[in-house]
Structure 1
Amino acid sequence: MTTQLKPTLGTLHLWGIAVGLVISGEYFGWSYGWGVAGTLGFLVTSLMVATLYTCFIFSFTELTTAIPHAGGPFAYSRRAFGEKGGLIAGLATLIEFVFAPPAIALAIGAYLNVQWPALDPRHAALGAYIVFMLLNILGVQLAATFELVVCILAVIELLVFMGVVAPGFSVSNFVANGWAGDNTFSLGAVGGMFAAIPFAIWFFLAIEGAAMAAEEAKDPKRTIPKAYISGILTLVLLAVGVMFFAGGVGDWRALANINDPLPQAMKIVVGEGSGWLHMLVWIGLFGLVASFHGIILGYSRQCFALARAGYLPRGLAKLSRFQTPHRAIIAGGVVGIAAIYSDGLINLGGMSLTAAMITMAVFGAIVMYIMSMLSLFKLRRSEPNLERSFRAPGYPIVPGIALVLAVVCLVAMAWFNALIGLIFLAFMVVGFLYFLLTGAARARAPADAMLTGV
C-alpha cells in the first residue's frame, strides 16, 4: 500500500493554501466578537491575537522547514516529546481542522440564503461538503490550483468591499458603544475582550495548515518561508481593513452575531437592490470556498499522518489512485456533516452552532500552538545540529511571546467557554484511550525518520 505523498506544489500554491485556509475568517465569524466586546474592545483583542500569530508564524516556519512532514504539528511534537507529545498535538490539530469546516459550510449556506431565502443553509452546507471532498480526492495539484484561484478572487473581493463601503465610513459609527459593559474602558470591557478571543483567532485560524502540505511542496525549505511570511502579512492587513470598514458604515450592533456581516454592511451603504451587493454575495462565496476547500485538504493530511503512524486506524492512510488520502477526506467530512445537523441536540447555553464550532476549533488550535512552541524550544536544546534553513528571528523572545499569549488565550477561553472546553477535553480523552489500546498498531507502522530523528 502506497503511503507517500508526491511533491508538486510551488511557493504561489503554498501562499494560496496558507491564505485560502484562513480567508473565510475575514468574511464571517469574527463579528461575533463585537457581540461580546464591542468594536473597540474587539479591536484591542484582535491586535493582541495578530501579535500572537505574527510571532507564531515566524517561529513555526522554523519547524516546518526543518521537518517538512504531512503531520505538521504532530510530527514536531512527537520528535520533541515522544509519542504522547505527538498525540496531544495531533489530536488538537485534528479537532481544529475537523470542526472549522462545518462552521464555514454553514456560512456558505447563509450567503446562498441571501439569494434564495427558501434554501435551508444546512442542505447547502451538505452540498458544499460533497463537492469539495470530491475535488480534494481528484488530486492535490488540481486542488491547490483551484485554491489559489479562489483565494486571489477572495482577496480582490475584500478590497472591492472596502472600496465600495468607504464613502459611508465614519469613525463616530465605529467607536459608538465601542466597549462592552457600561460603554467605558472598565472591568466589564476587559472581560468582554477576553471573551472575544475565539473570534479574533478566527481571523487567522488554520494558516498553520499549510505545514500539512509540506511533503507535497517542492523545495519546502525555500518555498514554505516565503508562503508563510507573505501569507500572515496579507491576512493581518485584510483583517484590520475589513473590521474597520464594516464597523464604520452604520450601527455595527446589527452586524454582530450573524453569519453574513459583509453583505449586510454593504447593504447599509448601497441599498438592497444594488448590483454591488449581489456581486459581493456571489464573489464573496469564493472566500468561504477557499477556506472550506483548503481546510478539507488540511484535516485529511493530519488524519492521514496520524493513521500512517498508527495513531488512527491504518485504513485512513490508504491513498487513492490520484495519490490523495481519500478515506481520510471522507472520514473528516462525515464528522463535519454530523456537526452541521446536530443543531438543537446539545444545549450550548445560548451560543449559536456556528459560534460553538468556531470555539471548538480554536481550542484545538491554541493547544496545538502551545505544543508547537514548546517543541521549538525543546528541539533547539535536544537537536542543536538539526538542519534549520529558516531560524526563528529574535529567538527566544519571539517564540516566547507566541507561547505566553497562547497560554493566556487558552486560560481565557476555558474560563469563558467552560462547556465547549469540557467537550474538547472529552474528545482528547477518547483519543488518549484509543492510543492506550493500540500500541501494537504503532509498533507495526513503517519507520519515519522525521518523527524520530534517526
Structure 2
Amino acid sequence: MSITEPVATHAQGVDEAPESADYLARRTLRSGTAGWVLLAGLGVSYVISGDYAGWNSGLGEGGWGGLVIAGAVIAAMYFAMVLGMAEMSSALPAAGGGYTFARRALGPWGGYATGTAILIEYAIAPAAIATFIGAYVESLNLFGIVDGWWIYLVVYAVFIGIHLTGAGEALKAMFVITAIALVGLLIFAVAAAGRFDAGNLLDIPATDAVGASSFLPYGYLGIWAAVPFAIWFFLAVEGVPLAAEEARDPARNVPRGIIVSMSILIVTGAMVLLLAPGAAGSAAMAGSGNPLVEALGDTGVAKVVNYIGLAGLVASFFSIMYAYSRQTFALSRAGYLPKSLSVTNSRKSPTLALIVPGVIGFALSLTGQGATLLNMAVFGAAVSYVLMMVSHIVLRRREPDMPRPYRTPGGIATTSFALVVACLAVIATFLVDPLAAGLTLAAFAAFLVYFGVYSRHRLVANSPDEEFAALADAERDVT
C-alpha cells in the first residue's frame, strides 16, 4: 500500500493515510526545553494580563458582589478543570493539548471541534490584549503615540519574530517578563492596601433588577452576566499541556506546572478583585482601561505599576501566541488544517502556525473593541472546556485501565462540576454580548463545515494524536 492511499480507519466517516518519515521530520518540535518551573511560569504568563485589565468590565455587569460570586464559582471550575487536564496530559502528552484528549475520547469530529474552539480562543485573545496594550501605551504617552494600530503591528511583528527563534528562548523570555509582572502586582497590592476603604466596594447604586441590593446592584442576573469577565482572570491557563512535546518528562512536569500556575493565579486574582475596587471604587473601575493604575491615582507608584502593567500584558500576549501556534501546529500536522501550517524551521518553530493566526489577530485588533474580542475569546474557551471535561469523563469510563501517572482527585465528580459550570459559561457569553458570541459561533460552524467537506478525508494516520487514538481502537478491538 502506498503512503498516499487513503484508508478508512474510524467509524465517523474519515479517511486516514500514513505520511512519509520526511513529512513528520519537517514537523517536529524541540523536546526537553522546559521543566515544571518554566511550565508553571508559562501558565501564569498566559493569564496574568487578566489581572491588569479586562476583568473590571464585570463590575459594570454584576457589581462587586456579582463579580465576586462569579469569580469564586469560575475559580472553582478552573481548578477542577485543571485537575482533570493534569490527568489527561500525563496520560497523553502531545502538542495538541485539549484536542489530543478529545480526539482519543470523542473521535475525529470531537477532537477537531475541541481543537477549533481552543484555536479560536487563542487567536482572538491576543487581539483583545493588543488593544489593552495600546491603552496602556497611550496612557503613558510613550513616543507620542495616540493611535493604537501602530502598537498592535509592532507587538505582533516583534513577538512572532522572537518565537521563530525557538521554544527554549521564547519560554525563558516569557518567564522573565512574567516575573516582572508578578512584582508589579505585589507593588500594586502594597500601595492599594493603604488606600483601601470597604465602602468603595459597594458604591454602585442598586437598580430595580430582581434581587438587587448594594451587594448585587444588578440583581441575580448580574452574577451570570459577570461570568465572562470572571473567566478573564484565568483564561488560557489550560494551554500548559500544549508544551508537552517540548517539556522534560511531560507526564510528571506538565501536571505539576499547570496546578502550580493555577494556584498562583487564584491568589493574584482575589487580591486584585479586592484591592482595586476597594482603593478607587467599583463604579470608577468598571469602565477603566487600566484599572490598577487608576486605582492608585496620580502617584509615582501608579506610574511604576503602569509600566510594569505593560509587561504583564506583554507576557500574556507573548505566551498565548505560543499557544495558538502549537494548537495550529498539532491540527495541521494531523491533517485537520492545511498541512503547510505545521512545517517547522531550522529552530524547530512552526513558521506559518505563528504567522497566519497572527495576521488574523492583528486584523481583529484593528477594530479596537477589546471588550467584544474578550467575549469572543471566552466563547471559544468555554466551548472547549465543555468538550475537554466530557473527554475526561468518557476516558475514565471507557478506558479505566489507561496508564495515568497523575489521577484527578475526586475523579469524574470533579470534572462533572467543571462541565456544568462551563455549560453555563457558554450561555453567559450570549447574555453579555449576543453579537460577539453569535459571530464566534458562526466562525466555529465554518471550521466544522471545512472539516466535514474537505479535511476529514485527508487526515494523517501516523501523526502522534492519530496514533494515540488508533492504539486505543486496537486495544478495544482486542478486548
State if a TM-score over 0.5 links the two structures: yes
Q: Call closer, same or farther: CA 1:186–1:440 in 2, change over 3 Å.
A: closer
Determine which of 308, 314, 319 is the counterpart of 2:344.
319
How far apart are the structure 2 equivalents of 1:259 and 1:187?
Answer: 22
Does the 8 Å CA contact 1:70/1:211 hold for their aligned counterparts? yes
How far apart are the structure 2 equivalents of 1:11 and 1:383?
Answer: 27
Letter in 2 for 1:202: W
In the other structure, the counterpart of 2:374 is 358
Does the 8 Å CA contact 1:3/1:318 hold for their aligned counterparts? yes
In the other structure, the counterpart of 2:161 is 134
| Offset of residue 451 of structure 1 | 3.9
In the other structure, the counterpart of 1:346 is none
Does the 8 Å CA contact 2:185/2:268 hold for their aligned counterparts? yes
In the other structure, the counterpart of 2:124 is 99
Letter in 1 for 2:35: G
In the other structure, the counterpart of 1:413 is 429
| Offset of residue 20 of structure 1 | 0.5
| Offset of residue 173 of structure 1 | 1.1
* 1:201 matched to 2:228: no
| Offset of residue 152 of structure 1 | 1.1
| Offset of residue 417 of structure 1 | 2.8
In the other structure, the counterpart of 2:65 is 40
Letter in 2 for 1:438: S
Q: Call closer, same or farther: CA 1:223–1:186 in 2, change over 3 Å.
A: closer
In the other structure, the counterpart of 1:4 is 28
* 1:234 matched to 2:264: yes
| Offset of residue 438 of structure 1 | 2.4
> Which segment is superposed worse, 139-148 or 248-257?
248-257
* 1:422 matched to 2:464: no
| Offset of residue 446 of structure 1 | 4.0
| Offset of residue 257 of structure 1 | 2.4
For 1:289-300, what aligned pairs fall within 5 Å after superposition?
289-300=314-325
Determine which of 183, 195, 204 is the counterpart of 1:177.
204
In the other structure, the counterpart of 1:339 is 364
In the other structure, the counterpart of 1:219 is 249
Letter in 2 for 1:238: T
SS of equivalent to 2:445? helix
How far apart are the structure 2 equivalents of 1:452 and 1:292?
Answer: 36
How far apart are the structure 2 equivalents of 1:298 and 1:321?
Answer: 20
For 1:14-413, what aligned pairs fall within 5 Å after superposition?
14-116=39-141, 118-177=145-204, 181=209, 182-184=212-214, 188-267=218-297, 272=298, 274-343=299-368, 353-413=369-429
How far apart are the structure 2 equivalents of 1:178 and 1:440?
Answer: 58
Deviations 1:205-241 (CA, angstroms, capped at 9, x unpaired)? 0001111111111001111122111111100110010
Does the 8 Å CA contact 1:6/1:216 hold for their aligned counterparts? yes
Count of residue pairs the alignment pairs up: 440
Deviations 1:156-183 (CA, angstroms, capped at 9, x unpaired)? 1101101012111011111233766554
SS of equivalent to 2:54? coil
How far apart are the structure 2 equivalents of 1:439 and 1:244?
Answer: 48
In the other structure, the counterpart of 2:468 is 450
Q: Call closer, same or farther: CA 1:92–1:179 in 2, change over 3 Å.
A: farther
- Unpaired runs of at least 5, structure 1: 344-352
TM-score, structure 1 length as denominator? 0.93
Q: Call closer, same or farther: CA 1:178–1:194 in 2, change over 3 Å.
A: farther
How far apart are the structure 1 equivalents of 2:438 and 2:462?
Answer: 32
Letter in 2 for 1:161: F
Does the 8 Å CA contact 1:38/1:178 hold for their aligned counterparts? no
> Which segment is superposed worse, 181-190 or 387-396?
181-190
Q: Call closer, same or farther: CA 1:151–1:118 in 2, change over 3 Å.
A: closer
How far apart are the structure 1 equivalents of 2:257 and 2:415?
Answer: 19
Does the 8 Å CA contact 1:39/1:178 hold for their aligned counterparts? no
Determine which of 439, 445, 451 is the counterpart of 1:435.
451
Does the 8 Å CA contact 2:461/2:467 hold for their aligned counterparts? no
Does the 8 Å CA contact 2:372/2:433 hold for their aligned counterparts? no
Does the 8 Å CA contact 1:27/1:261 hold for their aligned counterparts? yes
Q: Call closer, same or farther: CA 1:421–1:162 in 2, change over 3 Å.
A: same
Name the Cα RMSD after superposition.
1.7
How far apart are the structure 2 equivalents of 1:15 and 1:325?
Answer: 23
- Unpaired runs of at least 5, structure 2: 1-22, 473-479
Does the 8 Å CA contact 1:76/1:451 hold for their aligned counterparts? no
How far apart are the structure 1 equivalents of 2:145 and 2:311?
Answer: 22
Q: What is the percent sequence identity of the aligned residues?
A: 35
Does the 8 Å CA contact 2:180/2:311 hold for their aligned counterparts? yes
| Offset of residue 259 of structure 1 | 2.1
Does the 8 Å CA contact 1:78/1:452 hold for their aligned counterparts? no
Deviations 1:130-162 (CA, angstroms, capped at 9, x unpaired)? 111111111100000011111111111101101
How far apart are the structure 1 equivalents of 2:248 and 2:62?
Answer: 43
How far apart are the structure 2 equivalents of 1:337 and 1:411?
Answer: 27
Does the 8 Å CA contact 2:65/2:216 hold for their aligned counterparts? no
How far apart are the structure 1 equivalents of 2:397 and 2:80?
Answer: 20
Does the 8 Å CA contact 2:95/2:242 hold for their aligned counterparts? yes
Structure with larger Rg: 2
Letter in 2 for 1:340: S
Letter in 2 for 1:30: W
